[in-house]
Amino acid sequence: MSRSINLAVIPGDGIGQEVVAQGLKVLTAVLPQDVKLETKEYDLGARRWHRTGETLPDAELDSLKNHDAILLGAIGDPSVPSGVLERGLLLKLRFAFDHYVNLRPSKLFPNTATPLAGRPEIDFVVVREGTEGPYTGNGGSLRTGTPAEVATEVSLNTAYGVERVVRDAYERANARPRKKLTLVHKNNVLVHAGHMWKKIFDTVGQEYPEVTTDYLHVDAATIFFVTQPERFDVIVTDNLFGDILTDLAAAVTGGIGLAASANINPDRTFPSMFEPVHGSAPDIAGQGKADPTATILSVALLLRHLGFDAEAARIEDAVAADLAARDGSARTTDEIGDALAVRVAG
Amino acid sequence: MSRSINLAVIPGDGIGQEVVAQGLKVLTAVLPQDVKLETKEYDLGARRWHRTGETLPDAELDSLKNHDAILLGAIGDPSVPSGVLERGLLLKLRFAFDHYVNLRPSKLFPNTATPLAGRPEIDFVVVREGTEGPYTGNGGSLRTGTPAEVATEVSLNTAYGVERVVRDAYERANARPRKKLTLVHKNNVLVHAGHMWKKIFDTVGQEYPEVTTDYLHVDAATIFFVTQPERFDVIVTDNLFGDILTDLAAAVTGGIGLAASANINPDRTFPSMFEPVHGSAPDIAGQGKADPTATILSVALLLRHLGFDAEAARIEDAVAADLAARDGSARTTDEIGDALAVRVAG
Ligand SMILES: CC(C)[C@H](C(=O)O)[C@@H](O)C(=O)O
Ligand SMILES: CC(C)[C@H](C(=O)O)[C@@H](O)C(=O)O
SS (H, E, C) A92-146: HHHHHCCCCEEEEEEECCCCCCCCECCCCCCEEEEEEECCCECCCCCEEEECCCC
Beta bridge partners of B280: none
Domain end among A197, A221, A253: A253
**B98, B233, B238, B243: the active-site residue:** B243
Global pTM value = 0.97
Domain end among A253, A285, A319: A253
Mark whether A235 and A334 lie in a shared domain.
Answer: no
**Interhelix angle B309-325/B293-305, nearest 10 degrees:** 160
Known binding positions of A for substrate: 94, 104, 128, 219
Reply yes or no on whether the pLDDT at B247 is more than 90.
Answer: yes
B282 alpha carbon – ligand 1 mean position (Å): 37
Question: Is B108 inside any structural domain?
Answer: no
The confidence score (pLDDT) of residue B19 equals 98
Mark whether A209 and A226 lie in a shared domain.
Answer: yes
For residues B261-265, average pLDDT: 98
Domain end among B253, B287, B318: B253
Q: What is the DSSP string of B47-99?
A: HHHHHHS-SS-HHHHHHHTTSSEEEEEE---TTS-TTHHIIIIIHHHHHHTT-
Q: What is the rounded distance in angstroms from the CA atom of residue A345 to the CA atom of residue A293?
A: 16
**Closest to A14 measured CA to CA, from A78, A87, A93:** A78
Show the low-confidence residues of chain A (pLDDT under 50): 1
The confidence score (pLDDT) of residue A3 equals 86
Question: Is A199 inside any structural domain?
Answer: yes
The confidence score (pLDDT) of residue A254 equals 87
A141/B227 Cβ within 8 A: no
B116/A192 Cβ within 8 A: no
pLDDT category at B254 given cuts 50, 70, 90 is confident
Residue nearest ligand 1's atom 11 by CA: A243
**Residue B6: what are its φ and ψ, rounded to 5°?**
-105, 100
Domain that holds residue B232: 114-140+149-253
Q: What is the rounded distance in angstroms from the CA atom of residue B60 to the CA atom of residue B40?
A: 11
Q: Is A57 on the interface with B (CB under 8 A)?
A: no
Mark whether B129 and B223 lie in a shared domain.
Answer: yes
B147/A152 Cβ within 8 A: no
Reply yes or no on whether the pLDDT at B198 is more than 70.
Answer: yes
What pLDDT, in 10s, does the model give residues B45-104? 999 999 999 999 999 999 999 999 999 999 999 999 999 999 999 999 999 999 999 999
What pLDDT, in 10s, does the model give residues B204-233? 999 999 999 999 999 999 999 999 999 999
Atom of ligand 1 nearest to the CA of B219: 9
Q: What is the rounded distance in angstroms from the CA atom of residue A181 to the CA atom of residue A183?
A: 7
**Residue A339: what are its φ and ψ, rounded to 5°?**
-60, -40
Mark whether B218 and B270 lie in a shared domain.
Answer: no
The confidence score (pLDDT) of residue B176 equals 98
Q: Is A135 a catalytic residue?
A: yes
A250/B83 Cβ within 8 A: no
Q: What is the rounded distance in angstroms from the CA atom of residue B256 to the CA atom of residue A227?
A: 12
Mark whether B158 and B269 lie in a shared domain.
Answer: no
Residues of A in Cβ contact (< 8 Å) with B149: 158-159, 196
Question: Is B109 inside any structural domain?
Answer: no
What pLDDT, in 10s, does the model give residues B293-303? 999 999 999 99
Question: Is B63 inside any structural domain?
Answer: yes
Residues of B in Cβ contact (< 8 Å) with A156: 150, 152
Reply yes or no on whether the pLDDT at B2 is more than 60.
Answer: no
Mark whether A148 and A230 lie in a shared domain.
Answer: yes
Question: Is B134 inside any structural domain?
Answer: yes
Mark whether A155 and A279 lie in a shared domain.
Answer: no
Q: Which of A76, A83, A149 sits opposite B191 (nearest CB)?
A: A83
Q: What is the rounded distance in angstroms from the CA atom of residue A60 to the CA atom of residue A9?
A: 12
**Closest to A132 measured CA to CA, from A197, A199, A182, A83:** A197
Residues of A in Cβ contact (< 8 Å) with B80: none
Mark whether B314 and B238 lie in a shared domain.
Answer: no
Beta bridge partners of B93: none
pLDDT category at B256 given cuts 50, 70, 90 is confident
Q: Is B218 on the interface with A (CB under 8 A)?
A: yes
**A135, A170, A233, A322: the active-site residue:** A135
Three-class DSSP category at B226: helix
Provide the CATH number for the domain around residue B233.
Answer: 3.40.718.10
Mark whether B186 and B277 lie in a shared domain.
Answer: no
Identify which of B184, B186, B187, B188 to mutate to test ligand 1's pocket (most ligand atoms within 8 A of the CB): B188
What pLDDT, in 10s, does the model give residues B126-148? 999 999 999 999 999 999 999 99
Q: Is A202 a catalytic residue?
A: no
A192/B139 Cβ within 8 A: yes
Known binding positions of B for Mg(2+): 219, 243, 247
B153/A188 Cβ within 8 A: no
Q: Is A199 a catalytic residue?
A: no
Reply yes or no on whether the pLDDT at B288 is more than 90.
Answer: yes
Q: What is the rounded distance in angstroms from the CA atom of residue A196 to the CA atom of residue A189?
A: 13
Q: Is A58 a catalytic residue?
A: no
> How many domains are contained in chain B?
2
Question: Is A108 inside any structural domain?
Answer: no
Within chain B, where are the H helices? 16-30, 46-52, 58-64, 84-85, 91-96, 159-174, 191-205, 218-227, 239-252, 293-305, 309-325, 333-345
The confidence score (pLDDT) of residue A142 equals 97
Q: Is A191 on the interface with B (CB under 8 A)?
A: yes
Q: Is B256 on the interface with A (CB under 8 A)?
A: yes
Question: Is A17 inside any structural domain?
Answer: yes
The confidence score (pLDDT) of residue A256 equals 86
Q: Is A346 on the interface with B (CB under 8 A)?
A: no
A68 alpha carbon – ligand 1 mean position (Å): 23
Mark whether A194 and A240 lie in a shared domain.
Answer: yes
Question: Is B123 inside any structural domain?
Answer: yes
Atom of ligand 1 nearest to the CA of A275: 12
Q: Is A336 on the interface with B (CB under 8 A)?
A: no
Q: Is A92 on the interface with B (CB under 8 A)?
A: no
Q: Is B13 a catalytic residue?
A: no
Mark whether A86 and A18 lie in a shared domain.
Answer: yes
Mark whether B229 and B269 lie in a shared domain.
Answer: no
Known binding positions of B: 94, 104, 128, 219, 243, 247, 279-291
**Closest to B255 measured CA to CA, from B302, B294, B282, B224:** B294
